[in-house]
Chain A
Amino acid sequence: MRRWLWLLFSLPMVGNANIVSPKPDAVSVTIYRASEEGNPDLANPETDAEGIALISEVRELELPAGESLIEFVGVAQTIVPQSARLESLPGVIVETNFDYKLIGPGELINNSIGQYVRLVRTDADSGKVTEQRARLVSGPSGVLLDIDGKIEALDCSGAREKLVFDSMPENLRAKPVLSAKVRVATAGKHRVRLSYLAMGFDWSANYVARIQSDGRTLDLTGWVTLANKQDTSFVDAPVQVIAGNIERDESTQAIAVSSAYYSNQCWPIGQWYWMSHSTKLDMPLAVMMPPPPPDMALIERKAMRVSDDLEEVLMIKQRDLGDYKLYELPFKTELASRQVKQVMMTHNTSVPFEKVYTYTENGFSLDSHDAAMVIPARTLLRMQNKEALGLGKPLPAGNVVVMEADGDQTLFSGMNTIKDVPIGLPVDVELGSAFDVQVSPRMLKEYTRAEERIKYHYVDMEVALINGLAEPVQFEYRQEVENGNLAIVKESSRHIMHKGLPTWAVKIPPRSHRVIKYTLRRPE
């Protein structure tokens, strides 16, 4: 019996796996985000996950000596087939294949042209069933049958009829299949690692900053929000996410599986009355089935308790992977299909912050400014990513929600995104417009003058920075310089270069204002 089986295996077989690996024995998932821009809407079931994941599986295979075709069942449907790698196989991989010619009414007909099928007719009234042997002549966009040398069309008579197939055409599959043709020298059990990239995953960091009642410090809690928006679940899996910008190639995509459609296109079924064209337009051209609604994303918040006793909180662990940051979930988990999961990443208490008011004046575009125009400044919350200042951890890009305690109540005071912040750099979160801190830029004089055969265009500026609060504020006033085309040639106080622009950093006493004067120059 064994020898007979072996003979069977050694035959060159097409589309017939002789070994089926039903599922991975162990799997790990590493998720790479789509971009540094983040996806604040990741938890919404309707939004796409455009990141990528590396799925790394261990599979135990019982292989005969010689050549086998192994079919890997249970890989993610969104696999990028050219990224599949089979490792630790003590032999030779002849080829790997990904087949996606799927069973469907259209493909069934398309792949049975010229074959014999059974045409089954049911009498609508008596229920009497008759059956005839017929050869498929054409299809699937309108099916013609050869019945004993006479030609008839399917589904054009108005009577009830269907086709019955005796066998499935070769190479049609229920689901896309990843397989490998391998040769090993000795029979036995082999543990192999199968890894591949798959689409439909993404992750983003999310931060909640709670401003404490002292108004000078905040508690910063970071979460990893990860999403599996494809249809394969991973059980008992170590899950990791990678922060940092990886390069991706546009050709690294899952295969868009398409299948031939069956349609019962007939000759025009005539009517006596005039209704042909207009009626056709009035009717729905095709009944478009909406895609099935995805299961409501299950939002799972593990380790949710935020306590001072951090030992009790299951926090994600961070390490380096090359030049990226890797965050590993502290437990193996089930990463279910169509699921969003959140795990705590950082929790820092009493992080000092600075509130800075900012305004950036745009080049020469002052024409629209009313002479008495007063513009609200922007409020910015600034932390320093340093250990001495309460942080000092890499902060992956994401959304920051800022909350403020107001008595017993918590108020939402703004939200914005941050980019990846390495240790040592400032963390600036712009919150929105201020109420009581304003700026009033005025163009005092506009003139031209030639210097050494170059004609210049000048503008004299006078800017009032106004603090209506009962406390001193820090103001950063910036001037846009049209990528260096504008120069500041005279100024009432020295500017610095900050965030790439000439900046006046001014402290304004309570309920007071400060004035900056400067002259801008642009070559004509």
Chain B
Amino acid sequence: MIKAQLTRIGCQVTTFSVACIMASSAFGGDASKLSLTIYNNDLALIQEMRPLDLNAGRNKLEFKDVSASIRPETVSLTAPGIGIVEQNFDFDLLTPEKLMEKAVGHQVQIVRINPGNGAQVTETATVLSVNNGVVLKIGDRIEVLRADNVPTRVIFDKVPENLRAHPTLSVTVDADKAGHRDATLSYLSTGLSWKADYVALFDEKAHKLDLQGWITLTNTSGTTFSNATTQLVAGDVNTLENPVQSQWQPNARPARTSSFNESGGSTATNRPLADFYVYPLKETTTVADKQTKQVGFLDVTGVAANKVYQYFAAWFQSIDPPAHAEVVVQFKNSVTGGLGTQLPAGVTRVYVKDIDGIPKFVGENRIEHTPQGSEVSVKIGEAFDITVQPTLIAQERVTFFRSRYQMEYLIRNAKKEAATVLIKQCGLWRDGKVIKESQKSTALDARTLQWSIAVPAEGETKLSFTVESGW
């Protein structure tokens, strides 16, 4: 009944209208009718099947239950034998003040309630203006609404066209003939995003880790999507807010023969789509408004992994008090290493088992989109017991454009076992070279040298070197 009423109102002002139809809801219906494709960067493509009963000629369709965060310029409606005449997105929201403003020049009913005896007097009034107060014409009197503070209700006959409780999408179509057909409505919406979260249970002694991957969906769009077929796209998609070239181009196509055990809700295969990877969820799911949802997509045990202590110096300088060495957990994303599937970007949380066997959190870090074959390094924190104290002993000008740096690194290990610490010294520039060093370095790149320093248990090792570099 309500529907009919609103439709009637709609028809009054549609100049070219032949028929006005409220497009029936597809949400909450058959699961196959709603599909969500969610991207990393706060964007989703929503596609739904909408059954339409159209008259021949022009029809105005209103879609009330689309995402509250719809990007209306991306709407597309397709169905056999229809042409789109125009699409409108009305966001003039219905409020009491708007309603009163639209009533200027029109008649309303006012009901004055006598504060003494509660008696109600109803009169017809014309709204003259709404400027810092509502001015009414009642018969031949002109009054300000509620100027005397007597309770006064205002009754309006109707809600004006184009004022709505929620932003509303309407599409006017031209149908070749009357009848039922299934239309596909698709649009982009913000408020939906996903990321990956990983849980790595690291066994240092066994040099292994167990890796679980979870897809974390968040919905703050204002709309609940029920029983949706859902797929996630990994990769950076260009949007106008984020106009950067896609930087992630997988260098290897995914192996179809993935060897990992899948957890229950996980994806079967991840299909490459252009330069992105698509992860379809196995089952339809309901993505409720204001919900964070996690679905497992990876569960691998026994991935070869090791732990590295390192210290990275960006420049030649002294540090006091001593810095702690970084703790890095490394594993290779390869089939031989026990993994071998592309890993979408996300936060990896690393756990180790405490003496009672209960996993304890030991740090987290972000990994980028990681194609198969890549090394993954997760810096989880700093070692309490391993400190590195760099001292710049001397800096000298050799020529006007060349300097010589004499560095000393004191690496202390308070642990009960020996440790190896990688010292990475950046800062070499043009024609950089090692003049003298207490042990052999390797060049990681043109600007970075690395020493692998063995430090005895409860002991210390000193690394000293002199390098020369132009600038």
Asked if B233 is at the interface (CB within 8 A of a chain A CB), the reply is no
B103 CB to nearest chain A CB (Å): 9
Given contacts A83-B197, A156-B96, A420-B384, contact A246 B362 (CB under 8 A): yes
Question: With a CB–CB cut-off of 8 A, which chain A residues contact B117?
Answer: 125-126
B 148-159 binary contact with A (CB < 8 Å = 1; else 0): 011111111111
Asked if B283 and A500 make an inter-chain contact with CB atoms under 8 angstroms apart, the answer reads: no
Asked if A271 and B97 make an inter-chain contact with CB atoms under 8 angstroms apart, the answer reads: no
Asked if B322 and A171 make an inter-chain contact with CB atoms under 8 angstroms apart, the answer reads: no
- Contacting chain B: which of A208-216, A249-257, A370-378? A249-257
Asked if A94 and B95 make an inter-chain contact with CB atoms under 8 angstroms apart, the answer reads: no
Asked if B152 and A158 make an inter-chain contact with CB atoms under 8 angstroms apart, the answer reads: yes
Asked if B157 and A324 make an inter-chain contact with CB atoms under 8 angstroms apart, the answer reads: no
In-complex Cβ contact of B159 among A123, A151, A195, A266 (8 A) = A151
In-complex Cβ contact of A85 among B199, B291, B293 (8 A) = B199
Asked if B294 and A96 make an inter-chain contact with CB atoms under 8 angstroms apart, the answer reads: yes
Asked if B381 and A171 make an inter-chain contact with CB atoms under 8 angstroms apart, the answer reads: no
Given contacts A251-B347, A322-B327, A422-B414, contact A32 B361 (CB under 8 A): yes
A-B contact count (CB 8 A): 309
For residue A452, which residue of chain B has the nearest CB? B399
Question: With a CB–CB cut-off of 8 A, which chain B residues contact A485?
Answer: 395
In angstroms, Cα B390 to Cα A195, docked, is 40
Asked if A474 is at the interface (CB within 8 A of a chain B CB), the reply is no
Asked if B321 and A419 make an inter-chain contact with CB atoms under 8 angstroms apart, the answer reads: yes
For residue A156, which residue of chain B has the nearest CB? B96
Asked if A151 and B155 make an inter-chain contact with CB atoms under 8 angstroms apart, the answer reads: yes
In angstroms, Cα B391 to Cα A158, docked, is 77
Asked if B130 and A126 make an inter-chain contact with CB atoms under 8 angstroms apart, the answer reads: no
Which residues 98-154 of B have a CB within 8 angstroms of A? 99-101, 109, 111, 113, 115-118, 130-135, 144-147, 149-154
- Contacting chain B: which of A141-149, A220-228, A306-314, A346-354? A141-149
Asked if A501 and B362 make an inter-chain contact with CB atoms under 8 angstroms apart, the answer reads: no
Which residues 379-395 of B have a CB within 8 angstroms of A? 379-387, 389-395
Asked if A523 and B397 make an inter-chain contact with CB atoms under 8 angstroms apart, the answer reads: yes
Given contacts A14-B286, A246-B362, A523-B397, contact A324 B159 (CB under 8 A): no
Question: With a CB–CB cut-off of 8 A, which chain B residues contact A83?
Answer: 197, 349
- Contacting chain A: which of B36-44, B335-343, B350-358? B350-358
B400 CB to nearest chain A CB (Å): 6
Asked if A56 is at the interface (CB within 8 A of a chain B CB), the reply is yes
Given contacts A94-B295, A423-B458, contact A30 B152 (CB under 8 A): no
Given contacts A92-B264, A247-B365, A483-B317, contact A158 B99 (CB under 8 A): no
Asked if B400 and A453 make an inter-chain contact with CB atoms under 8 angstroms apart, the answer reads: yes
B414 CB to nearest chain A CB (Å): 4
Given contacts A153-B96, A268-B133, contact A394 B285 (CB under 8 A): no
Asked if A151 and B158 make an inter-chain contact with CB atoms under 8 angstroms apart, the answer reads: yes
In angstroms, Cα B155 to Cα A171, docked, is 33
Question: With a CB–CB cut-off of 8 A, which chain B residues contact A324?
Answer: 362, 381, 384
Chain B interface: which size bin? 35 or more
- Contacting chain B: which of A131-139, A335-343, A405-413, A461-469? A131-139
Question: With a CB–CB cut-off of 8 A, which chain A residues contact B365?
Answer: 247, 249
Asked if B134 and A268 make an inter-chain contact with CB atoms under 8 angstroms apart, the answer reads: yes
Asked if A272 is at the interface (CB within 8 A of a chain B CB), the reply is yes
In angstroms, Cα B286 to Cα A14, docked, is 7
Asked if B291 and A98 make an inter-chain contact with CB atoms under 8 angstroms apart, the answer reads: yes
Asked if A157 and B347 make an inter-chain contact with CB atoms under 8 angstroms apart, the answer reads: no
Asked if B118 and A113 make an inter-chain contact with CB atoms under 8 angstroms apart, the answer reads: no
Asked if A93 is at the interface (CB within 8 A of a chain B CB), the reply is yes
Given contacts A96-B294, A244-B381, A276-B132, contact A126 B288 (CB under 8 A): no
In angstroms, Cα B317 to Cα A487, docked, is 14
A 322-333 binary contact with B (CB < 8 Å = 1; else 0): 111110000000
A 288-329 binary contact with B (CB < 8 Å = 1; else 0): 000000000000000000000000000000010111111000
Asked if A158 and B412 make an inter-chain contact with CB atoms under 8 angstroms apart, the answer reads: no
Asked if A138 and B94 make an inter-chain contact with CB atoms under 8 angstroms apart, the answer reads: yes
Asked if B288 and A128 make an inter-chain contact with CB atoms under 8 angstroms apart, the answer reads: no
Asked if B359 and A195 make an inter-chain contact with CB atoms under 8 angstroms apart, the answer reads: yes
A 260-284 binary contact with B (CB < 8 Å = 1; else 0): 0000011111111000110000000
Which residues 65-117 of B have a CB within 8 angstroms of A? 93-97, 99-101, 109, 111, 113, 115-117
In angstroms, Cα B360 to Cα A268, docked, is 59
Question: With a CB–CB cut-off of 8 A, which chain A residues contact B280?
Answer: none
In-complex Cβ contact of A84 among B156, B294, B354, B362 (8 A) = B294
Given contacts A83-B349, A99-B291, A138-B94, contact A126 B154 (CB under 8 A): no
Asked if A72 is at the interface (CB within 8 A of a chain B CB), the reply is no
For residue B321, which residue of chain A has the nearest CB? A419
Given contacts A268-B130, A322-B327, contact A98 B395 (CB under 8 A): no
Asked if A420 and B324 make an inter-chain contact with CB atoms under 8 angstroms apart, the answer reads: yes
Asked if A153 and B265 make an inter-chain contact with CB atoms under 8 angstroms apart, the answer reads: no
The 6 closest A-B pairs by CB, nearest first: A270-B133, A500-B318, A92-B264, A484-B395, A276-B132, A153-B96
**10 cross-chain CB contacts under 8 A:** A14-B226, A82-B197, A95-B295, A123-B113, A152-B153, A265-B95, A424-B414, A484-B392, A500-B317, A501-B318
